[in-house]
Amino acid sequence: MSDTLNGQSRLAHHFVDLQQQKSAATLGMWLFLATEVLFFGGLFVAYTLYKLKYYEAFVAGSHELSITLGCVNTAILITSSLTMALGVYGAQTGRKAFACNSLLATLALAGAFLVVKYFEWSAKFEHHLVPGPDFQFDVTHAAAVVANPELLRIEHVKMFFILYYIMTGLHGIHVVAGIGVIAWLYTQARKGVYSAEYYTPVELVGLYWHFVDIVWIFLFPLLYLLGRH
Amino acid sequence: MSLDHILTPRAYLTVFFMLLVLTAVTVYVAFIDFGAWSTPVAMAIAIIKATLVLLYFMHLRYSDGLTWLVIVSSFIMLVALVLITLGDVFTRTMTTAPPALGM
């Protein structure tokens, strides 16, 4: 096992070997993801609570979102998870070019996700669907899509959009952060830092990226597909 | 424990296609009226998708017990967060102040 690169040891002095170092790093990443589960979890609880209280308004708000764009972004993110997994595979098997190309594809897909998000958000801004003094929502128009229109309140629709922006916004920030770390991985991979013996950073960034994918897997049906029948 | 278990690109592609199919399924069933079961059905599909990502993309299937412990604990904390909060909010009732104790 080569645990050195350019004469410099990659094994920190407090670990016995690279395997132990990798186990510790992996555990640390999973612990970080556990805190992320609770970070997003609070928002999912807020969403569930308000959805149960203001169901009509949440259905009306959900109908303002584009299922097509939501689907496109879901497909983009799932594909980026695939390319990230392939990037880890490339690093694990010492295929440098394959790993670099997979990471590059992941970056491109993450960028595409944000571009779609930009168009989605700017359409909402144009339609005054931003909670605040200029918020406009046609309750009579929405009455057609909900079961009990008399329960519909514009303040409650605002609550849907507050949660929509915070949840997709926080997720978007995670995508931006992901682009940053994957770009760093790419430059490192280009330099030949990773090999079949040492690829822990690729594996750990992969875990983070798949977590971001999982959050979107839950956000998509909750925000976009509510009460569509 | 085998942190170095290597899955093949073919395995990743299989999981990828399953995720795409399940995405199509979740959109399809959203247009069917399941009444109160709509959200549970959507969440069930999302949980299956998340499990596939965890087990294969995140290599959880080949991870050690300590990793499983962290994930299962975080899931239990999440369930507690949801259930305790909902249990609180939906059992609140307006109460009137008890009458003052006499004399």
- For B16-47, b where at least 16 C-beta lie within 10 A, e where not — what string? beebbebbeebbebbeeeeeeebbebbeebbe
* pLDDT reported for residue B4: 65
CA-CA distance, A221 to B27, in Å (whole number)? 8
pLDDT digits (tens, 9 = 90+) for A131-163: 988 899 888 878 788 888 888 899 999 999 999
Q: How confident is the model at residue A29 (pLDDT cuts 50, 70, 90)?
A: very high
* pLDDT reported for residue A33: 97
Instruction: Check if B51 contacts A (Cβ < 8 Å).
Output: no
Q: Is residue B86 within 8 Å of A49, Cβ to Cβ?
A: yes
- For A4-36, b where at least 16 C-beta lie within 10 A, e where not — what string? eeeeeeeeeeeeeebeebbbebbbebbeebbeb
Q: Is A9 domain-assigned?
A: no
The torsion angles phi and psi of A137, rounded to 5 degrees, stand at: -145, 125
* pLDDT reported for residue A3: 56
Report angle CA A163, B42, B18 to the nearest 5 degrees: 115
Tokens for A7, please give them: 């004469």
The residue in chain B having the minimum alpha-carbon distance to the alpha carbon of residue A81 is B57
pLDDT digits (tens, 9 = 90+) for B87-103: 999 898 888 888 887 76
Within 74-93 of B, beta carbons closer than 8 Å to A belong to 74-75, 77-78, 81-82, 85-86, 89-90
The residue in chain B having the minimum alpha-carbon distance to the alpha carbon of residue A80 is B16
Please give the residue range of the domain that contains residue A181: 40-224
> A66-70, A104-108, A194-198, B40-44: which has the minimum mean pLDDT?
A194-198
- Evaluate if residue A9 carries a pLDDT over 80: no
* Nearest chain B CA: its distance from A53 CA (Å): 9
Beta-bridge partner residues of A8: A5
Contacts of B38 in chain A (CB under 8 A): 227, 229
Complex prediction ipTM: 0.91
Within 44-63 of A, beta carbons closer than 8 Å to B belong to 44-45, 48-49, 51-52
* pLDDT reported for residue A4: 65
Contact flag A81-B57 (C-beta cutoff 8 Å) = yes
Class of residue A165 by CB neighbours under 10 A (exposed 0-12, middle 13-18, buried 19+):
middle
Q: Is A212 domain-assigned?
A: yes
Q: How confident is the model at residue A1 (pLDDT cuts 50, 70, 90)?
A: very low
* Nearest chain B CA: its distance from A130 CA (Å): 25
Q: How confident is the model at residue A8 (pLDDT cuts 50, 70, 90)?
A: low
Q: Is A11 domain-assigned?
A: no
CA-CA distance, A114 to A135, in Å (whole number)? 24
Contacts of B27 in chain A (CB under 8 A): 67, 71, 225
- Domain positions in chain B are 9-63
State how many domains chain A has: 1
- Tens of pLDDT, residue by residue, chain B (103 residues): 345 678 999 999 999 999 999 999 999 999 998 888 999 999 999 999 999 999 999 999 999 899 999 999 999 999 999 999 999 998 988 888 888 877 6
- Evaluate if residue A46 carries a pLDDT over 80: yes
Q: How many residues does chain A have?
A: 229
The residue in chain A having the minimum alpha-carbon distance to the alpha carbon of residue B51 is A214
* pLDDT reported for residue A7: 56
Neighbours of B84 (CB within 10 A): 11
Report angle CA B47, A47, B93 to the nearest 5 degrees: 120
CA-CA distance, A53 to A50, in Å (whole number)? 5
- Evaluate if residue A101 carries a pLDDT over 50: yes
Neighbours of A78 (CB within 10 A): 24
Residue keyed to tokens 């998000």:
A117
Q: What is the mean pLDDT of chain A?
A: 93
Contact flag A210-B38 (C-beta cutoff 8 Å) = no
Q: Is A206 domain-assigned?
A: yes
CATH assignment of the domain containing A206: 1.20.120.80
**Once rounded to an integer, what is the mean pLDDT over residues A15-34?**
93
Class of residue B101 by CB neighbours under 10 A (exposed 0-12, middle 13-18, buried 19+):
exposed
